[in-house]
Amino acid sequence: MADRRYTKTHEWVVVDGKTVTVGITDFAQSQLGDVVFLELPSAGRKLAERESFGVVESVKAASDLYSPVAGRVTAVNDKLTANPELVNSDPYGDGWILKLELTDDLPSDLLDAAAYKQVTEASAH
């Protein structure tokens, strides 16, 4: 099982060679509430590390999505068009958002599960 890493802005990333899968965490989806829409880029778009690439919307909130890595978008989860609720029900599986091909090294400051847990405990109220 591939190792999952996290960002402070609540994205997760799983690395498989040069391909990287990105989504939002369980904590993020529970904070947002029921997801109703995602504004996502098209395949081919180049993203810089930490660049904002889209928005995830619920009825009461809209959060920007930030790319954890520098890469080129190779796939977008088009199931999310008709079923945005997959982000809530299966944030780490069927609710994945993007696949990217790395164009640079992985950032060194990606968090492991323990470090990310600390982030969520600090921000939960």
Partner 1 sequence: MPYLVHTEEDRASMLDSIGAHSIDDLLVDIPESLRIAALDLPDGLSEYETMSQIASLAARNRVFPDRLTFRGGGVYRRFIPAAVAAVTSKPEFYTAYTPYQPEASQGTLQAIFEFQTLIAELTALDVANASLYDGATAVAEAAMMAHIHTGRNEVVVAGYLHPEYVEVLRAFGEGRGIKVRQGTTPGPKTAAVIFQQPDFLGLLVDAATLTENAHAAGALAIACVDPISLAILAPPGEYGADIAVGEGQQLGLSPSYGGPHVGFISCRRELVRRLPGRLIGTAHDKQGRRGFVLALSAREQHIRREKASSNICTNHSLCALAASVYMTYMGPNGLRQVAEVSFKRAHALAERLAKLPGWELAFPDRQFVNEFPMRVPKAPAVVRKLARKGILGPIEVQRWFRGLKGVVTFTCTEVNDAAALDELVAALEA
Partner 2 sequence: MTELLSFEKSRQTANPPRLPEADVKAPDPSQVLGPDQLRKKAPGLPHLSEPEIMRHYSRLASMNYSISEQFYPLGSCTMKYNPVVNEVAAALPGFAGLHPYQGEDTVQGALELMWRLERALCAVVGVERVTLQPAAGAHGEWTALRMISAYHRSRGDNRTEVLVPDSAHGTNPASAALSGFQVVEVKSGPDGRISLADLESRLSPRVAALMLTNPNTLGLFERQILDIAEMVHATGAMLYYDGANLNAFMGICRPGDMGFDAVHMNLHKTFTTPHGGGGPGAGPVGVKAELVPFLPTPTVERTNGHLTLDYKRPRSIGRVRSFYGNFGMLVRAYAYVVAMGGDGLTQASRDAVLSANYLRKQVENDLEMPHEGPCMHEFVASAQNLAHEGVKALDVAKALLDRDFYAPTVYFPLVVPEAIMVEPTETESKATLDAFAAAIKEIVAEAKSNPQALHDAPQNLPVGRLDEVAAARRINAYLQGLSEDPVLRWKGGEK
Interface with partner 1 (CB under 8 A) = 36-37, 57-62, 64
34 binds partner 2 (CB under 8 A): yes
| Closest separation in Å from C-beta 26 to partner 2 | 18
Q: Least distance in Å: CB of 80 to partner 2? A: 10
Nearer to partner 1, 57 or 90 (CB): 57
Contacts by residues 74-81 (CB-CB < 8 Å, ≥ 24 positions apart): 74/19, 74/43, 74/99, 74/100, 74/101, 75/43, 75/99, 76/40, 76/41, 76/42, 76/43, 80/38, 80/40
CB of 38 to partner 2, least distance (A): 9
Nearer Cβ to partner 1, position 19 or 88? 88
Task: Give min distance, CB of 57 to partner 2, in A.
Answer: 8
Q: Is residue 37 a contact point for partner 2 (CB under 8 A)? A: yes
85 binds, among partner 1, partner 2, none (CB under 5 to 8 A by kind): partner 2
Q: Helical H runs in 1-125?
A: 26-32, 79-82, 86-89, 113-123
Q: What is the C-alpha to C-alpha distance for residues 44 and 71, in angstroms, rounded to an integer?
A: 10
What distance in Å separates the CA atoms of residue 89 and residue 15, rounded to the nearest whole number? 22
- Given partner 2, partner 1, none, residue 105, with its beta carbon under 5 to 8 Å by kind, binds none
